Structure 1
Amino acid sequence: MKQEFTDRKLGAIFGYTDHLQKDASSFSIQESVIQFLWNRNDEAVSLHLDDLQIQLQPGQLLTTTYFQHLGFPTTAPPLTALLFNREFYCIADHDEEVSCNGILFFGTQDLPIITIPEKQERKFELLLEVILEEFRTVDNIQGDMLQMLLKRLIIICTRLAKEQLIVQELNDGQIDTIRQFNVLVDMHFRTLRKVKDYADLLHKSPKTLSNLFSTYNQQSPQQIIQERVVLEAKRLILFTDKQTQEIAYDLGFDDPAYFSRFFKKQAGLTPSAFREQHVLGGGEE
């Protein structure tokens, strides 16, 4: 089953499908969408996110953004998905933890997979039932109601993400600094490569950021910046026909040879070897 709400004046979409693999290409807007992927099967679902293969377990949700490339093996069970874009979600451009710049989408360095606790399974199913009912209620305030229901879903999932993905030693202010740092890196990684650049934007000292991330996980802010550059390089290598020189310039490197050395140091392979390895050994099952 597929449901879709669109506002053509705004270019907004909110959609639902219980078989993403079958329906993904049939939504009227496919560019720049954010997705909740929900495994409601009794078995794991395999999927490819960029160059990672992931096993989404029963009762787990994964959020993806328009920066990422999603694929499935042909044998994967049907995956439930809710998708929307910034034009639909009313606080998309606000810098809040339940916005499109929020914890679920840009707020953690961990893959944003949350597990629905058994005691909350009915809550999620009831919310989905209400969302589906609202898709069938066509009137002048349908979009407003769907926005409210989407926000409720994001709030519930954000609470679970804070419990499951973020260490409890951090307070809300520290969590928000981490989220803002990740958002800024996504916005500026092509031009800003130093921790001090981001510390200045956040009105923090580089040492404060380093200490905060040492509590949060084992990656330093500098590693996060470098990994974001490498991630974008991998996406360009795997999903475009651009050559190494073009990719280097796209990512803000003046010297393609320096970019190749940087990529090899971070990824373990030169850009050409990385592409060849995935062409020969990759692909969907």
Structure 2
Amino acid sequence: MIREYDEKATSALFVMHRNNKLFCGKGLRTVGSNPINTFVYNSGAAQQVVIDEIAYNMPPLSILPLVSNQHFVFQRPEALTAWQFNREFYCIVDHDAEVGCVGFLFYGIRHPMFIKLDKQAAEEMTHLEKVFSSELQLKDNFQGEMLRTLLKRVIIKTTRMAKLQCESYRQFPDERMDLIRKFSLLLEIHFKLEHEVRFYAAALNKSPKTLSNVFALLKHPPPSVLIRNRILLEAKRNLHYTEKSAKEIAYELGFESPAHFSRFFKLYSGSNISTFRNL
């Protein structure tokens, strides 16, 4: 079953998948200027999900947030419920300060993030499934706002559970964890053009050394490594899933020249571009 809300005037799109055997993240539909983000709820048994060619085990009674540029295939998609939305429907960046920790769910340091639900939370999520389904069958002036309100509820509930399950959030003050979260969100927005730690530090009103020290204290990889890994991941996605040339990818990712990109890719992936593309 697929039900959707499509607001022609603003290009806002919200889609609910339930028992959909064809549900996957290959060639995700895009509307307006932005692709679609996804919440996947597994109310049944554990199953495998392959995200960007890496296999993971999705536990039973769990939620998985997926960002718009990830490619994913589930072992049993018909056993899942998924909610998808584009930026025009609900902008993560704009709602970050209002909801709190939206970046933590979708752009956290540790990803993918499988958020486990207890019995009560699972019952509430099942109830929300029914409410979403009913609301998607209505066609009136309140439908879009009601769907946004329901999505916001899912985000807040999921965030609360995720923070309880994240050891770092239990051990360290919110101020430090918010710094990590804001860095992650900035990185997702700017990584194609900004490759230096000093840019992100300045945007966060910190020195590069202070920013690196916070990451070290929380036992996270340093900002420079996270920037590098994000660029490398995007390069691999483009090489694996698109027909773009290495030259096109190099300039899209902010490299001065294709040769510079080629050296970067070989150094940090352990493979040259042509070999990786032919795997």
TM-score (norm 2): 0.88
- Could you list the per-position Cα deviations for residues 135-180 of structure 1 after superposition, in whole angstroms to 9, with x for gaps in the alignment? 2333221211111111010000011121223512222222221111
Match of 2:53 in 1: 51
Match of 2:6 in 1: 6
TM-score (norm 1): 0.86
Does the Cα contact within 8 Å between 1:2 and 1:18 map onto a contact in 2?
Answer: yes
Give, as a single letter, the amino acid of the residue that structure 2 aligns with 1:163: L
Residues of 1 paired with 2:196 and 2:17: CA distance? 42
Q: Which runs of 5+ in 1 are unaligned?
A: 278-285
Match of 2:39 in 1: 36
Match of 2:206 in 1: 204
Shift in CA distance, 242/136, structure 1 to aligned 2, threshold 3 Å: closer
Shift in CA distance, 29/193, structure 1 to aligned 2, threshold 3 Å: closer
Does the Cα contact within 8 Å between 2:101 and 2:181 map onto a contact in 1?
Answer: no
Alignment of 1:1-285 (within 5 A): 1-22=1-22, 30-31=30-31, 32-42=35-45, 44-72=46-74, 77-89=78-90, 93-96=94-97, 98=99, 102-165=103-166, 167=168, 168-277=170-279
Does the Cα contact within 8 Å between 1:2 and 1:23 map onto a contact in 2?
Answer: no
**How many equivalent residue pairs?**
273
Residues of 2 paired with 1:105 and 1:270: CA distance? 30
- Could you list the per-position Cα deviations for residues 215-261 of structure 1 after superposition, in whole angstroms to 9, with x for gaps in the alignment? 33331111000001101100111011123233222212123233222
Report the Cα offset of residue 21 of structure 1. 4.1
Report the Cα offset of residue 81 of structure 1. 0.6
Does the Cα contact within 8 Å between 1:101 and 1:107 map onto a contact in 2?
Answer: no
Residues of 1 paired with 2:81 and 2:160: CA distance? 21
Give, as a single letter, the amino acid of the residue that structure 2 aligns with 1:120: A
Shift in CA distance, 265/118, structure 1 to aligned 2, threshold 3 Å: farther
Shift in CA distance, 29/191, structure 1 to aligned 2, threshold 3 Å: closer
Shift in CA distance, 58/91, structure 1 to aligned 2, threshold 3 Å: closer
Secondary structure of the structure 2 residue equivalent to 1:35:
strand
Match of 1:282 in 2: none
Does the Cα contact within 8 Å between 2:102 and 2:159 map onto a contact in 1?
Answer: no
- Could you list the per-position Cα deviations for residues 65-103 of structure 1 after superposition, in whole angstroms to 9, with x for gaps in the alignment? 212122345x66543211111211277524427379532
Give, as a single letter, the amino acid of the residue that structure 2 aligns with 1:107: G
Match of 1:283 in 2: none
Does the Cα contact within 8 Å between 2:20 and 2:77 map onto a contact in 1?
Answer: no
Shift in CA distance, 89/166, structure 1 to aligned 2, threshold 3 Å: farther
- Could you list the per-position Cα deviations for residues 90-134 of structure 1 after superposition, in whole angstroms to 9, with x for gaps in the alignment? 775244273795321123333222111234221211222222222
Secondary structure of the structure 2 residue equivalent to 1:41:
coil
Give, as a single letter, the amino acid of the residue that structure 1 aligns with 2:253: L
Does the Cα contact within 8 Å between 1:34 and 1:65 map onto a contact in 2?
Answer: yes
Q: Which runs of 5+ in 2 are unaligned?
A: none
Does the Cα contact within 8 Å between 1:4 and 1:13 map onto a contact in 2?
Answer: yes
Give, as a single letter, the amino acid of the residue that structure 1 aligns with 2:208: P
Shift in CA distance, 72/94, structure 1 to aligned 2, threshold 3 Å: closer
Does the Cα contact within 8 Å between 1:21 and 1:72 map onto a contact in 2?
Answer: no
Alignment RMSD (CA, Å): 2.5
Report the Cα offset of residue 198 of structure 1. 0.8
Give, as a single letter, the amino acid of the residue that structure 2 aligns with 1:6: D
Secondary structure of the structure 2 residue equivalent to 1:257:
helix
